[in-house]
Amino acid sequence: MSIFFSYFTYKIIVAVIVILVAFFVRATIGFGSGLISVSVLTILFPIRFTVPVVFILDFAGSFILGAYDFKEVKWRDLNYLLPFTIVGLLFGGVLLKYASPQKLTIFLGLFILLYVIYGFIVKQEKLPFVKNYVGAPLGFFGGFIGSLYGGGGPPIVAYLQMKHYNKRAFRATFQIVAITDSISRTFIYLYLGLLTLAVFKMSLFLMPFLLLGLFFGNKLHFRINQKFFYIIVMIVLSLAAVGLIIHSL
């Protein structure tokens, strides 16, 4: 009994630390909480438990940051991205329920890693400027992997980076995509029976640590310059990619 209790306590402590770090990063650069949380917590908890827990926490984080940055949102660039994100969410949610998404993490990790390599080779100011319709495939891919892993950020990040936003507009616009994602996934996960009482209890327990991470991350967001912001984004993406690849092996 004591061994079980110790192991359970260890998992809870790790979960608290992960959520603190994940939402500190989320407030600092605008994304990454889902990728970081799911990448680590699926080592300790089943993915069908971890993803819904992180989803609820991300939902709360998106509303908090979205309300704070609302005036900075670039609405005109979301006309393709948002609807195709919802379509991707539907496909990903069904796969999460009926397939073995844990085996697919290597593909997500490789995709992110390739984008990071590209992002480091090509300087930020020389990234191509994309038209809005490019948001269709990237939105679908983002929604799809978001439903599976709770971290559909990389394709969305790629799209927003190629719109050449400043750090505040980047963070603000990403939150609108995240809120759309969360509202859609609420209905999908409820229909598929993924939002259980145990999921809500765990999310409620971790909520104060989410708020703490957001508070300190928001302070750092306003202190870093644009170039350093870009470097942090790419580092977070690369760490998430490596974690996903290792976890899938």
Domain ranges of the chain: 2-248
Angle (nearest 5°) at CA 177 between 176 and 179: 65
Lowest mean pLDDT among 175-184, 212-221, 231-240: 231-240
What pLDDT sits at residue 197? 92
User: 241 with 116: CB under 8 angstroms?
Assistant: yes
Split at pLDDT 50, 70, 90, the class of 185 is confident
- Whether residue 89 contacts residue 184, with contact meaning beta carbons closer than 8 Å, is answered with yes
Q: CA 156 to CA 160: how far, in whole Å? A: 6
Say which residue, 224 or 183, is predicted with more confidence: 183
Token pair, residue 107, equals: 């593909």
pLDDT score at 1: 44
User: Given pLDDT bands bounded at 50, 70 and 90, which one contains residue 166?
Assistant: confident
CB 249 within 8 A of CB 106: yes
Residue 4 predicted with pLDDT over 80: no
CA-to-CA distance for 212 and 89, rounded, in angstroms? 29
CA 213 to chain centre: 15
Give dist(CA 26, CA 144) in Å, integer: 20
Joined together, the tokens standing for residue 182 give 């969360």
